[in-house]
Structure 1
Amino acid sequence: MTVAVLADLLEFTRDGEWGEGEAGDGLVNVGIIRGTDFSSVRYGDLSGIPTRYVRAGVVEKKQLRPGDVLIETAGGTKDQPTGRTVYLRDELFQLIDKPLLCASFARFLRVREGSIDPQFLFWKLQDEYLRGELLPYHVQHTGVARFQYTQFASTHRLVVPDTADEQKAIASVLSAIEEKIQLNRRMNETLEALAQAIFKDWFVSFGPTRRKMGGAINPVAILGGLISDPAKAAYLAALFSTNLGEDGLPQGWELREIGEQSQALGGSTPSTKEPAFWEPAEHCWATPKDLSAQSDLALFETERKISDAGLARITSGLLPAGTVLLSSRAPIGYLAISQVPIAINQGFIALPPSESFGTAYLYFWCKANMEQIQANANGSTFQEISKRNFRPIKSAVPSDERILTAFVEIVDPLIARIVSAANENRTLAETRDYLLPKLMSGAVRVRDAERAVS
């Protein structure tokens, strides 16, 4: 093993930029990666990063490249200290048609050729962060927490393998797990988008009826190509009306309040001053924070749990697995499907599945009606959608319940595949986090790790 300090391994490093919100002379439109974007960027998702305008000369000096490592240098919290990192893979730059910079609360690290494998450096810094080795450099004054980068880079000792081949081998094992996680995430995005497209076509735009009115006679065409099986398409196409009524709905359909289709329940927080409400920790208890880092729709666990005594203080009680959770404030719009029985705090509207309107319908109804949900919110301090304002929101309901049944039969298997992949990702992440410190310390050899993840 070799001991090094970060500053000696780098060719170039600079703080990021925030730039301007509007275009102007000499300004270049760029994508900005913030610390809050690290977790999504890590898995190849740039959809949430903001675009800003930065002076051309600054962009030339600070434009990011494949192989750069970003480190967060300000803005951490007590539970999430500064010092998080992300590695910028080659394929990330193919997802955007403008230069990428990091935000001013971050810094990019560009490795000097031959000094260390850049991907290994990312994993090494990850290991240091997770083991708490970066905490001494996290300083909380009044205001924003900051990471003392200069002191860290010039004094903190990094113990690394002697050869580039060994570094690359370790990085390869860990990155292979990341790639499996990323592949599952992309598959889940595709499956969810397909299910959402079917919901919107059937229950929002009334595509099958409109296509019939337009003269379509082929069942697959009537279903918009979303159902490719000719026999299934023929059965489904026959269920949809051939005309729209004066109310704009397919004939026989009606507008019904979502509160008639499912209970819209709220929750509460048992007193945190009463230990008996929290110990023993027996039941999952969700807050919107549990959904903030969700990459898919499946919620398997919560940060906190409550006791039987605490559960008795929540009027909505223990909700069944399959309940749709919608965050109703701070912010409005996080969505998840609980995979376990769960209690909730006051930051949710919960929609347990009913006999006619199952989990899939309720989840995709929320997604399709999010603008209306947010428009019905109010509040002086922060926006909140109350149960009273939520329940009257209407949706189009078919007269023939076979349409609802068919939707469930088509979409439930898609959700099951999403849940399975999400659960696999939990196992992969646990394997990665188990191997990371052991590979770095030499307690596990690369060939053994490769067998574990193959």
Structure 2
Amino acid sequence: MSSDHVMNLKLGEFAKIKGGKRMPSGTPLVSYRTDHPYLRIVDFKDGSIDRSNLQYVPNEVFPAISRYVISSKDLYISIVGTIGLVGTVPPDLSGANLTENAAKICEIDSSLINRDYLGYFLRSEVGQAEIRSLAVGSTQPKLALFRIEQIAVPCPPLEVQLGIASLLGALDDRITLLRETNTTLEAIAQALFKSWFIDFDPVRAKAEGRQPEGAIQGCMSAAEGRMPKAAMDATTAALFPDSFEESELGLVPKGWSIGCVGDLANQKKGSVNPLASPEVLFEHYSLPAFDSDQAPVFELGQQIKSNKTPLPDEAVLLSKLNPHIPRVWLPVNHGANAVCSTEFLAYSPQEGVSKELIYCLFVAAEFQQQLCQLVTGTSNSHQRVKPDQVLLVKIPIADKPVLKAFAELAKPLFERVHANRQQAQTLTQLRDTLLPRLISGQLRLPEAESLMEKAL
């Protein structure tokens, strides 16, 4: 393919731009399901929609904003604050209402451009640079609808566009599969933690004269997500008592102690100033890096403008900022110069405790509810947890052999999660580097397919 065959068109030459709509004054969104999902900027993720916290328009309110919906044939683009998030809406969410902080690219002329190719271009470095150049405002960037029409889009022949979209779509499918597998693996680990340390299922079974159900036999091949129902092996079952006793936290397994988070984890304190080592390469665990697929950023000290917390050897990171948005990070491996944002609290396990256990404790819904009660600040956007209060949260603590048995089951799960995440990041980088080379003609589709096959 030669760049001579590429037409450069303004987006407004082949598509319409229409804005979303805010909710009518005094009518809040609801969390229970109605016939009308409402798509917000926070729901835009990885070129699609994150369904984990969807909000809805009450059915009786919908007629007032019924014209401001997005179709699965359209593209969304964020236009306020976080500029340039671009993606599609799944078919089952077609017809959802769209926030006023976004617009839809609709009525796309398929004789000139392929919708998926356009989406990939707008998410590419070249497309994002074009979008940023048209935004105005520094503290709260905005992208006017008429400026979206001015975005310059390189349009190779349609058959080339289709080939590019198909190739990159295959990469996206693989990335999605890896992420879905990780969601399943983490769910298995979290289900095991809840079963053992919150619901006390093995103890209840023995108290009722039943054999406890298997922990995770075969869990490494259970990526489809079903918890196995085989009987727990006798050695593991013997670690659990067969009765309960009263405690200040209610009924707990007999012989277990009542302690606090500080009995399981140490908080890493201290500070490092990367600017004092301008030529040193730091492995930086920041909040934006967490939100970007939990991928730490490698930066020279001179690029990091504030003090950071050094990571302990066995680290678990818990965000103290806005705990209603849970951010818990388990770095499986990290280097000597690893640091994290001071918005993260860094913990390491006490002797006989695993970082996998600490991670599952912090992720558990029951712990997150307690965490939200420890905040200071009245603004929803700037609430913080008091670090010393986290260590004082009371919990039942099992005997060390039970903790060890949990670690032996959970550790392989998280190692696989880490490997899958690294592969997804590699494929994402490949996808993002292929597009500009394909458009410019530096790379032909057969060559790109060969590169993709090697990566897979």
Amino acid in the other structure paired with 1:199: F
Change (3 A) 1:289 1:267: farther
Name the CA distance, whole Å, in 1 between partners of 2:357 and 2:228: 17
**Aligned counterparts, 1:225-236, within 5 A:** 226=227, 228=229, 230=231, 233-236=233-236
Alignment pair present for 1:398 and 2:398: yes
Verify the 8 A CA contact 1:3 1:158 in the aligned structure 2: yes
SS at match of 1:264: strand
Aligned position for 1:349: 345
What is the aligned counterpart of 1:7 among 12, 18, 26?
12
Q: CA deviation at 1:19?
A: 1.6
Name the CA distance, whole Å, in 2 between partners of 1:61 and 1:115: 27
Name the CA distance, whole Å, in 2 between partners of 1:406 and 1:374: 30
Alignment pair present for 1:386 and 2:386: yes
Aligned position for 1:287: 286
Change (3 A) 1:176 1:226: closer
Verify the 8 A CA contact 2:265 2:348 in the aligned structure 1: yes
Change (3 A) 1:402 1:431: same
What is the aligned counterpart of 2:358 among 348, 362, 368?
362
SS at match of 1:116: coil
Q: CA deviation at 1:37?
A: 2.8
| Deviations, residues 398-450 of structure 1 (Å, cap 9, x unaligned) | 23x22111111111111111001000011001101110111121211112111
SS at match of 1:147: coil
Amino acid in the other structure paired with 1:47: S
Alignment pair present for 1:251 and 2:254: yes
SS at match of 1:349: strand
Aligned position for 1:79: none
**Aligned counterparts, 1:403-418, within 5 A:** 403-418=402-417
Alignment pair present for 1:118 and 2:112: no
Change (3 A) 1:445 1:39: same
Q: CA deviation at 1:267?
A: 5.0
Name the CA distance, whole Å, in 2 between partners of 1:49 and 1:402: 41
Change (3 A) 1:51 1:412: same
Q: CA deviation at 1:372?
A: 1.1
Q: CA deviation at 1:193?
A: 0.8
SS at match of 1:392: coil
Aligned position for 1:372: 370
What is the aligned counterpart of 1:31 among 30, 37, 40?
37
Q: CA deviation at 1:23?
A: 7.7
Amino acid in the other structure paired with 2:115: P
Alignment pair present for 1:17 and 2:18: no
SS at match of 1:114: coil
Aligned position for 1:160: 155
SS at match of 1:263: strand
Matched length: 421
Change (3 A) 1:330 1:173: same
Q: CA deviation at 1:128?
A: 6.3
Aligned position for 1:302: 297
Q: CA deviation at 1:134?
A: 2.5
Q: CA deviation at 1:151?
A: 3.7
Gapped runs of 5+ residues in structure 2? 1-5, 218-225
Verify the 8 A CA contact 1:284 1:306 in the aligned structure 2: no
Name the CA distance, whole Å, in 1 between partners of 2:29 and 2:327: 32
Q: CA deviation at 1:301?
A: 2.0
Verify the 8 A CA contact 2:23 2:65 in the aligned structure 1: no
Change (3 A) 1:358 1:218: closer
Name the CA distance, whole Å, in 2 between partners of 1:226 and 1:29: 32
Name the CA distance, whole Å, in 1 between partners of 2:452 and 2:343: 39
Amino acid in the other structure paired with 1:327: S
TM-score if structure 1 supplies the norm length? 0.83
SS at match of 1:67: coil
Name the CA distance, whole Å, in 2 between partners of 1:48 and 1:36: 9
Change (3 A) 1:23 1:6: closer
| Deviations, residues 28-84 of structure 1 (Å, cap 9, x unaligned) | 7522223333225x25532233323485456553332223111122223xxxxx233
**Aligned counterparts, 1:26-425, within 5 A:** 30-40=36-46, 42-43=47-48, 45-53=50-58, 56-57=62-63, 60-76=66-82, 82-88=83-89, 92-94=90-92, 99-110=95-106, 111-127=108-124, 129-130=126-127, 132-140=129-137, 144-153=140-149, 155-162=150-157, 164-217=158-211, 219-220=213-214, 226=227, 228=229, 230=231, 233-247=233-247, 248-268=251-271, 270=273, 276-294=275-293, 299-302=294-297, 304=299, 306=301, 317-320=310-313, 322-331=314-323, 333-338=326-331, 339-341=333-335, 342-368=338-364, 369-379=367-377, 382-399=382-399, 401-425=400-424
SS at match of 1:17: coil
SS at match of 2:119: helix
